Amino acid sequence: MKKVILLFLLFPSFVFSQERIVLIGNVFDGITFFHINEANIYNFSTKKYSFTNKEGNFEILAKQGDTIIISKPAYKQILFEVTQEMFRASFDIAMYYKVVILREVNVYALPSTYEAFKRDFVNTTLSNYYKIIEGATLSNEEKMGYAPSHGLLDLIPGKVGQAVTSPITFLYNTFSRKVKMDRLYQELVDNNQEVNNLPLKYNRDLVTSLTGLSGDELLDFMTFCKFSYYDLVRWSPEYIIVQINKKFGDYEYYKALEEN
């Protein structure tokens, strides 16, 4: 009789672990704290999926032990195993960008190759300014389009310690889409580690320790901050703390105005 009673008591939890019920969560950007809509929520165990709504909320059938994959273009993929605790209340998931475009790229309608650009350039009438520039003859390196980019002042003869670059190469390196894209790609590669370190430089625990805020009020303040990935990649941890304190002063001021 005792064995029957014990089996009966364990039966509900056994059924719960076998049946899939609704898993509820919220997805947001870990830096800006803005909601991420249209993120794909995929249950790898059942091959079923859903999407987050405008508020970043999602629902999907799951059970303990299922593998959930959350993905969104430009963001790092999130993968986790469902636990029993996740069914008790809605839980938060922070996503972070894979890379950050650090500078705006202005694209000009120039010929696609250096040789074509040089051909069009030599048939263009230049201002009298270029008459004072020496060294307009292209070197073999410059003809291949790999000459280093110098500023306009570097073209003026007599500047100590600077090689004279032809105006053709200078303009090509300044305005060429290919050169700009190559430069931007290298900048992204150089800063990739900084992007990966952002969650360590700026997070909820840090903001709470500085402001004493928590819960919805903490979320409201971090949304108010509107720090960009570009800023946080460039800022040192010490300068981030300075900016948080500054923003917190502004936040309390505007909050006081609203209450009055």
Contact 135, 166 (CB under 8 A): yes
**Structural domain containing residue 19:** 2-95
Instruction: Give the separation between CA 51 and CA 55, rounded to whole angstroms.
Output: 11
Q: For the chain, what is the domain count?
A: 3
Query: Taking the complete model, does pTM exceed 0.75, yes or no?
Result: no
Decide which of 63, 95, 127 is a domain's last residue: 95
Bridge partners (DSSP) listed for residue 105: none
Predicted confidence at residue 219, as pLDDT, reads 85
Predicted confidence at residue 124, as pLDDT, reads 58
Residue 101 lies in a domain: no
Reading the block at residue 129, the tokens are 């300014």
Residue 109 lies in a domain: no
3-class SS of residue 33: coil
Q: Per-residue pLDDT tens, the chain, 260 aa: give them.
A: 544 444 444 445 444 456 889 999 999 998 888 899 999 999 999 999 999 999 999 999 999 999 999 999 888 899 999 999 999 889 999 998 876 655 544 444 555 565 665 666 556 555 554 444 444 455 555 455 444 444 444 444 444 444 445 555 655 555 566 666 666 666 666 667 777 788 889 998 999 999 999 888 998 899 899 888 888 888 899 999 999 999 999 999 988 888 87
Residue 232 lies in a domain: yes
16 & 91 share domain: yes
Contact 81, 67 (CB under 8 A): yes
198 & 181 share domain: no
143 & 210 share domain: no
We report the CATH number of the domain holding residue 33 as 2.60.40.1120
73 & 156 share domain: no
Q: Which long-range contacts (CB under 8 A, 24 or more apart) does 80-83 make?
A: 82/23
Predicted confidence at residue 61, as pLDDT, reads 95
15 & 68 share domain: yes
Q: pLDDT for 60-95, tens place per residue?
A: 999 999 999 999 988 889 999 999 999 988 999 999
DSSP letter for 35, please.
Answer: B
Residue 107 lies in a domain: no
Mean of per-residue pLDDT scores for the chain: 74
Decide which of 148, 169, 190 is a domain's last residue: 190
173 & 197 share domain: no
Largest CA distance in the chain: 107
DSSP letter for 208, please.
Answer: H
Residue 202 lies in a domain: yes
154 & 180 share domain: yes
